[in-house]
Amino acid sequence: MNLLNDMTADNDRLGEFDVIRDIFSPLSEKAPGAFGLTDDAAVMSLAAGSELVVTKDAMVAGVHFLEGDEPEHIAKKLLRTNLSDIAAMGAKPLSYLLATAWPKSCDVAWIRRFAKGLAEDQKIYNVSLLGGDTVSTSGPLTLSLTLLGAVESGKCLRRNGAKEGDLLCVSGSIGDAALGLKVALQELEVSDNNHNQFLLNRYFVPRPRVLLGPALIGVASSCLDISDGLLADVGHICRNSNLGAVIEQSKIPLSAAVQEVLLKTPDLMEKVLSGGDDYELAFTVPKDRYGQVMRKAESLDVPISVIGKMVTRLGVSLIDDDGAEIPIPSMGWTHF
């Protein structure tokens, strides 16, 4: 970690190495190979018969989170989005690398709160900081996290294994985060306070399915996490498996909060299907293995819904209860 301008907060003056030693080094205590962040690189080993799974996500202020979001929420979302990617591969998380580009608006107090969010999630998900880089920037706050995981050799879940006739399933509920963002932007009013807070929580603090992913190894034929919107991400399975998918709209699992919103504003169904940030798992299962999936999901207390099936006709189709195709105005989020 290097190149951090001195920062002043609460009469404390901290330079780059002070920030590393005082704020980030404690996050590496349970990673022996991190050496307290005192060396140029970290060392780690894997158990025999395991493969390393690596993922990286970047987040930029004003693009992936709001300028005024709580530092703890930003930290947790950064870590949890990566945890979701690892889960989608059926792997178990190990440790992570962190790169931060701090603008002058992020004082030491802000950074301490950011590290506090990471520390809280490290306890929940049993991961540790290995190292990274810390720089200053004249641009917006920019964060990047690389998460390392492990999976039994040759067993990882991928997007390309779906077969014709496989059931298409999703965990949890869809669209909560997309509507939560609209609530945070004050573009949507939800009369029920509990529903309002539920949607905000789903946007600010995702819940990666870190136990479900590994449990799907050997039963699911393909898997990914839903980050860019249900329709767009199912489309990734279709393209990689050279198949299509038929989704029954009425079978898509919706929370009570989303159902309340749609009763008043049905046009928001498009946002529910394409808004992104769900971080649930979408996966395909051969029909004869569905019972195994349900038993595993029930043991983990994770709700699973069958929303459609894989077909030979390429592309994603959305149908109503009568089998009529519903037009899809937008598939999902894209940066470009």
Say which CATH number the domain at 252 has. Answer: 3.90.650.10
Domain ends where: 98, 118, 152? 152
Structural domain includes residue 20: yes
Q: Are residues 132 and 192 in the same domain?
A: no
The answer to whether residues 186 and 244 belong to one domain is yes
Is 21 in the same domain as 91?
yes
Lookup result for tokens 């301008």:
5
Which H or E element spans position 128? strand 128-136
Query: Does 46 share its domain with 171?
Result: no
Query: Is residue 87 predicted with pLDDT exceeding 50?
Result: yes
State pLDDT tens for residues 134-183: 999 999 999 999 999 999 999 999 999 999 999 999 999 999 999 999 99
Dihedral sign, CA of 152, 154, 160, 162?
negative
Together in a domain, 116 and 203: no
* Report field, pTM of the whole predicted structure over 0.75: yes
For residue 197, tell me if it sits in a domain: yes
Which residues lie below 8 Å from residue 62, measured CB to CB, with a gap of 6+? Answer: 140
User: What b/e readout covers 302-327, taking b as 16+ CB neighbours within 10 angstroms?
Assistant: bebbbbbbbbeeeebbbeeeeeeeee
Pairwise CA distance, residues 50 & 155, whole Å: 9
Q: Tell me: do 210 and 143 sit in the same domain.
A: no
Q: Are residues 309 and 180 in the same domain?
A: yes
Instruction: Please name the residues in contact with 202: beta carbons below 8 A apart, sequence gap of 6 or more.
Output: 176, 177, 180, 255
> Are residues 100 and 52 both part of a single domain?
yes
Instruction: For residue 171, give its domain range.
Output: 167-319
Would residue 172 count as lying in a domain? yes
Q: What is the pLDDT of residue 1?
A: 40
The reply to whether 171 and 313 lie within a common domain is yes
Structurally, how many domains does the chain consist of?
2
Residue with the two structure tokens 């399933």: 169
Contact 143, 108 (CB under 8 A): no
- Same-domain check for residues 120 and 173: no
Are 214 and 179 members of one domain? Answer: yes
Please give the average per-residue pLDDT across 99-114, as a whole number.
Answer: 93
The answer to whether 315 and 237 are in contact (CB under 8 A) is no
CA-to-CA distance for 20 and 13, rounded, in angstroms? 13
* Mean of pLDDT values over 274-287: 96
Domain-terminating residue out of 120, 152, 184: 152
260 and 300 belong to one structural domain = yes
